[in-house]
Structure 1
Amino acid sequence: MCTRFTRAWFFIVIALFLLGSLALLHAPSRIYMDQWTGDLFGEGGVEKDVRVHPDRPDAGVQGGVIMSKLGNATAKAELGRATWKLLHTMTLRYPENPTQDERDALWNYFHLMSRLYPCGECAAEFQLLLQKYPPQTSSRRAAATWLCVVHNEVNARLGKPEFDCAHLDETYDCGCGDEPISSSPTTAQDNPMDLERDPSRDEITGAGLINGRR
């Protein structure tokens, strides 16, 4: 006759055998993490339970103009001068031998600006220029010269004189230190690239208007 210990041991062996059989019949469940959202998903593997991922962070680079028309002429002119200074200084400080990531960043920047620029009609024109003259990102010289050509395209449309692209670093002090720049800083008054008319001042006398700066 089996003792109590023997019967208990026998039942334990049977239970382990049954559990092992179930494990063989049903593979362990697998959980996967969505790399974009961090959500856990999936029984049966990625192939069967894959979902449409949200848009990549650079998905909004291409698209139409977002901002509406800017009707304030003074604000438009000041915005234009500040933007050209920013863009020219940025390209003058751009690496001479950029990595692919740095090239992608500059390319995306110009296209994002063409969508988000606060002056809607200006942004639409810039988008047309980007289609005609795609951004050049292979080097500092290429980027700075490309931007100067685009700026001169705008000047030509406005009936303004063309700027010599060979003297960009003399006009826009990039702060690079070891690169030649003009010995005396260029003021807004004699800046040859500051070609937008300032509507806050009288064109003949130069006197500040009511809403202008004196």
Structure 2
Amino acid sequence: MTALVGAPSSALAAEPPALSAPVHTTAVWVDLESDASRSGVRAIEVRAAGQTWATTSVAATPFGATAQAPAAPGALELRVAVSAAVYADVVVTFVDASGLVLDSVVVRDVRLAAPTAGAKERWTNWADFETAPHGGDGASDGNSSGGGGGDSSSGPLALTGGVAPALWIVGSAIIAVIAGAALIIARRRRSNNEGDS
């Protein structure tokens, strides 16, 4: 079962659900998915409720940043340290000893605030994650082209269900019919020429 948390466009913020590793969990994978995560995430730590924090090794991925840590079934806590403001989708995946995914939690549009002046990093606990749809207050994280957060009616992906694909299909069909007719005519002429000889 996957839990998906994301604030609707009219909501200001939403809290993520409590993290609870299911039975047979042996590891937890944490992914922060955004361009800013690649360079902005300094550390990710996980612990069983009330235990010592386990520091993970954070690695950059094509989608952002990832970390893995051993885990046991039960309540878990998670925290992330960033060196700059990061807006990201956060995915927490629970796996068993064979790598089978048991459960995952996805929190969309999480805003991790930048460190205060003079600080190298800022920690944010899972329970304090805030979702900020489309960049929240509109401030850029410095690593995106921005955008208004609204729907586009002119972008290439906006045309995937409209007139443009239909024109491509009709145009391709017409070209195929013309090519087929030309091939048939060429074969008839050749067979007529061979028959005359």
TM-score range, shorter chain: under 0.3
Q: Which has the higher contact order (CA 8 A, sep 6+)?
A: 2
Question: Which is greater in Rg?
Answer: 1
The structure with the largest strand share of the pair is 2
Please report the TM-score for the alignment, with normalisation by the length of structure 1: 0.22
